[in-house]
């Protein structure tokens, strides 16, 4: 079955964790009294970049800015489809300055950048499926932002309500495997949203709470290879059984801030 899975080359935007730290608490994972090993974070992040490049993907980088410890989580900065950049307006005031630096990078690269009027956190809550956008709400991104994104991008946006504070972004509870399927943790969503996902993806790979707590759903797939947290062993086995190739990459130091592989990875389409 594995041979039938075809990887597609991707272009990723990342930000070096030079200034990474946990200096405030804006999700249940963050504890400022617990120190971060910046050297280890750097080493883990470099391993992720090498893994992407070893699998044929292109990686660009935004220069990190002192005083913005969460800037490493590039996925939250924007949502990009067809060369259009729907930027971010972060829920937490501490993170709002990050948007300016990412917008500047995209504009310098020639992209059309939209500054949203509603609170929205990029690929943290907006997930491209190849046909439409799955959009999370409940903790960060607002439903008004879903409507704003649809108007700017011109693609259908399907709203999903998150209910568990540990999975405060959609990308901690769901990721796209390929153009036809997804992997997600059902209990992270409201009953109605679970029904929507079941109708859209009747053959989805389902994850457990243990998988999700191990950051197994904060993964990146190129259609064949799935870059996944090593602790999510059961989920990796399940994915392998469906013909995908797990590529374990340890970003455990970033879990202290509630982030992982996908959080560190912005995809440019």
Task: Decide the pairing of beta strands 245-248 and 225-228.
Answer: parallel
- The alpha carbon dihedral of 217, 219, 220, 222 has a sign of negative
Q: What is the DSSP code (8-state) at residue 125?
A: T
Residue 48: φ, ψ to 5°:
-65, -45
Q: Helix count (H) and strand count (E) of the chain?
A: 7, 15
15 is catalytic: no
Provide the pairing of β-strand 112-114 with 84-87.
parallel
55 is catalytic: no
The catalytic position among 114, 169, 255, 264 is 169
- Rounded distance between C-alpha atoms, residue 23 and residue 94, angstroms: 10
Which residue has 């020639």 as its token pair? 110
Considering only CA atoms, give the Rg of the chain. 17
Question: Residues 57, 146, 183, 263: which is the catalytic one?
Answer: 263
Q: Which residues are catalytic?
A: 169, 263
């Amino acid at each position: 079955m594995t041979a039938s899975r075809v990887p597609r080359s991707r272009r990723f935007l990342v930000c070096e964790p030079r200034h990474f730290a946990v200096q405030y608490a804006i999700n249940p994972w963050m504890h400022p009294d617990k120190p971060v090993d910046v050297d280890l974070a750097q080493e883990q992040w470099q391993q992720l970049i090498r893994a992407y490049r070893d699998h044929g993907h292109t990686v660009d980088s935004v220069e990190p800015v002192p005083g913005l410890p969460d800037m490493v989580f590039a996925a939250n900065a924007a949502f990009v489809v067809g060369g259009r950049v729907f930027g971010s307006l972060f829920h937490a005031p501490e993170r709002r300055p990050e948007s300016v630096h990412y917008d500047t990078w995209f504009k310098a690269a020639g992209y059309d950048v939209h500054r949203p009027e509603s609170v929205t956190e990029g690929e943290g809550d907006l997930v491209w499926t190849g046909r439409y956008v799955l959009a999370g709400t409940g903790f960060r991104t607002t439903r008004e932002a879903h409507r704003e994104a649809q108007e700017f991008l011109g693609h259908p946006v399907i709203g999903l309500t998150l209910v568990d504070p540990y999975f405060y972004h959609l990308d901690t509870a769901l990721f796209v495997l390929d153009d036809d399927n997804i992997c997600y943790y059902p209990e992270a969503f409201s009953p109605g949203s679970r029904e929507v996902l079941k109708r859209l993806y009747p053959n989805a790979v389902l994850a457990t709470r243990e998988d999700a707590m191990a950051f197994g759903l904060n993964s990146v797939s190129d259609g064949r290879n799935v870059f996944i947290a090593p602790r999510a062993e059961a989920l990796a086995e399940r994915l392998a059984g469906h013909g995908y190739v797990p590529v374990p990459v340890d970003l455990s130091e970033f879990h202290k801030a509630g982030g992982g592989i996908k959080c560190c990875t912005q995809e440019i389409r």
